[in-house]
Amino acid sequence: MKILVTGGCGFIGSNFIRYFLDSYPNDLIINVDKLTYAGNLENLADLSPSRRYHFIRADIAEAPPMEAILREGVDAVVNFAAESHVDRSIEDPSAFMKTNVFGTFVLLEAVRKVFPKRQIRFVHISTDEVYGSLGETGAFTEETSLAPNSPYSASKTAADMMVRAYHQTYGLPTFITRCSNNFGPYQFPEKLIPLLISNAIEDKELPIYGDGMHVRDWIYVEDHCRALDTVLHHGKEGEVYNVGGRSEMPNLIVAKAILERLGKPHSLLRFVKDRLGHDRRYAMDFSKIERELGWRPSVSFEEGISRTIEWYQAHQEWWRKIKTGEYLKYYERMYGNR
């Protein structure tokens, strides 16, 4: 199988590429990434260009390179490419509209132009945030109404609807996955868990929005990669699959768990003004993918957070470059400003 992975230099995308190449020694991956601030070539620095892995710097919102790649022949597209940080979407939604909405449209159009001559499976990576916020009980199912509360989640909702429309209208073999909060190696340190870990290592304050009781379901990134693999190979065309980790907990409890594992004092916690439109609680009912495809999470939060802390302790040069902006200077030298 030859797969086009978009956004493969990001957190989940790079973990997926590593997982897939290890799991399928005869398969090939083309990795397309624009290399924005969160796309880091160092995430895959040990993967030299070869028959099995090839990197192309390109923007999914630009049709010519996407169409050229698909004309050469791929069996599947796994679309990770997205602007994903809610805070950034509140400050400037424009990049989210371009990449998440228009970029997804460009990819779907490129696939449509070679369909039905070639059956290309299209796996679109979405988010639980498209469902909005929950009360104290209940969980999102695939039938939950979409109710995005931030420009980020609105852009992902729009992309989901475009993917659905291309299946319904043109018969494209599409799949949508909506996953809860991921954590693990190579996550950009503006996100909650790597920010808390790196700050704690440096004895800096750990910022906690509001009262810290915003609840998220956490999933170790390797489990998410396995779920995507399962959907790619065994999913039913046109379906949506929720993916979760069965690890609901408030952000404050996550922060305290990190401090305790690192032997740091709780006095490093600092409560800050809550962000706009902050959803109070997410929880995922992923019984569909368990029942129909046989997938379930295998890494507990306790095991996953221990692995993650160990990785960030062992790879301090990686995240320190990001925090100081050194990696951006490297990209400018290698590729110029784009």
pLDDT on residue 210? 96
Q: What is the pLDDT of residues 227-280, one digit of tens each?
A: 999 999 999 999 999 999 999 999 999 999 999 999 999 999 999 999 898 999
Of 244 and 332, the one with more pLDDT:
244
Give pLDDT tens digits for 87-137.
899 999 999 999 999 999 999 999 999 988 889 999 999 999 999 999 989
Query: Strand, coil or helix: what is 197?
Result: helix
**pTM value surpassing 0.85:** yes
DSSP state of 295: -
Q: Are 70 and 6 a contacting pair, CB within 8 Å?
A: no
The one catalytic residue among 53, 131, 152, 312 = 152
Based on the residue annotation, tell me whether 46 is a catalytic residue of this protein.
Answer: no
Query: Measured between alpha carbons, how far is 338 from 335 in angstroms, rounded to an integer?
Result: 8
Residue-wise pLDDT for 290-324, tens only, equals 999 999 999 999 999 999 999 999 999 999 988 88
Give the up-direction half-sphere exposure of residue 110: CA atoms within 13 A in the CB hemisphere: 27
How far, in Å, CA of 239 to CA of 164, rounded? 9
Which residue of the set 33, 83, 129, 223 is catalytic?
129
Burial (CB count <10 Å: 0-12, 13-18, 19+), residue 307: middle
What's the CA gap between 239 and 178, in Å, rounded? 11
Token pair of 80, please?
A: 């990770």
Handedness of CA 98, 100, 102, 104 (dihedral sign): positive
Which domains are seen in the chain, by residue range? 2-335 (3.40.50.720)
pLDDT(24) > 80: yes
Which residue blocks in 183-325 are alpha helix, DSSP H? 192-201, 221-234, 251-262, 287-293, 301-314, 316-324
128 noted as active-site residue: yes
Residue in the structure block whose two tokens are 């999913």: 235
- The helix (H) or strand (E) run that includes residue 153 is helix 151-170
Catalytic residue (one of 128, 160, 248, 279): 128
Segment 159-186 shows an average pLDDT of 98
pLDDT of 336 > 60? The answer is: no
User: pLDDT at position 334, please?
Assistant: 46
Q: Is 75 considered catalytic here?
A: no
Q: pLDDT value at position 92?
A: 94
